[in-house]
C-alpha cells in the first residue's frame, strides 16, 4: 500500500 500523504503537505500552515 502506498503511504498516505499528510494533509499539511498540501495546505499552508497559517
Partner 1 sequence: MFEARLVNSSTFRKVLDAIKDLLNEASFDCSENGIQLQAMDSSHVSLVSLNLKSDGFDKFRCDRNLTMGMNLTSLGKVFKCSGADDTVTMKAQDYADTVTFMFESKKQDKISDYEMKLMNLDQEHLGIPDTEFSCIIKMPSIEFARIIRDLSQFGESIVISCTKEGVKFSAQGDIGTGNVKLAQTHNFDKEEESVTIDLQEPVALTFACQYLNSFTKATPLSNQVKLSMCENVPLVVEYQIPELGHLRFYLAPKIEE
- The C-alpha cell 495546505 sits at 11
What is the smallest separation between the CB atom of 9 and partner 1, expressed in angstroms?
Answer: 7
For residue 8, the SS3 value is: helix
Residues in contact with partner 1, shown as a per-residue x/- string from 1 to 14 under the rule CB under 8 A: xxxxxxxxxxxxxx
Shortest CB 3 distance to partner 1, Å: 8
- CA contacts within 13 A on the Cβ side of 14: 0
Contacts with partner 1 by CB under 8 A lie at 1-14
Amino acid at each position: 500500500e502506498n503511504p498516505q500523504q499528510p494533509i499539511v503537505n498540501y495546505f499552508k500552515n497559517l
